[in-house]
Amino acid sequence: GAVVSQHPSWVICKSGTSVKIECRSLDFQATTMFWYRQFPKQSLMLMATSNEGSKATYEQGVEKDKFLINHASLTLSTLTVTSAHPEDSSFYICSAAGQGTMYTQYFGPGTRLTVL
Partner 1 sequence: AQSVTQLGSHVSVSEGALVLLRCNYSSSVPPYLFWYVQYPNQGLQLLLKYTTGATLVKGINGFEAEFKKSETSFHLTKPSAHMSDAAEYFCAVSSQGGSEKLVFGKGTKLTVNP
Residues at the contact surface with partner 1, assessed by CB under 8 A = 4, 6, 31-32, 34, 42-44, 46, 49, 91, 93, 95, 97-98, 101-110, 112
Tell me if 31 sits within 8 A of 98, measured CB to CB.
yes
Residue 59: CB minimum distance to partner 1, A: 8
Backbone φ and ψ of 100, nearest 5°: -70, -15
Residue 16: CB minimum distance to partner 1, A: 26
| Residue nearer to partner 1 on the CB measure, 18 or 99 | 99
Residue 111: CB minimum distance to partner 1, A: 10
Residue 26: CB minimum distance to partner 1, A: 13
Tell me how far apart the alpha carbons of residues 62 and 64 are, in angstroms, rounded to a whole number.
6
Three-state secondary structure call for residue 47:
strand
Contacts of 59 (CB under 8 A, 6+ apart): 45, 46, 47, 48
| Residue nearer to partner 1 on the CB measure, 76 or 107 | 107
| Residue nearer to partner 1 on the CB measure, 17 or 105 | 105
Helices (H), 1-116: none
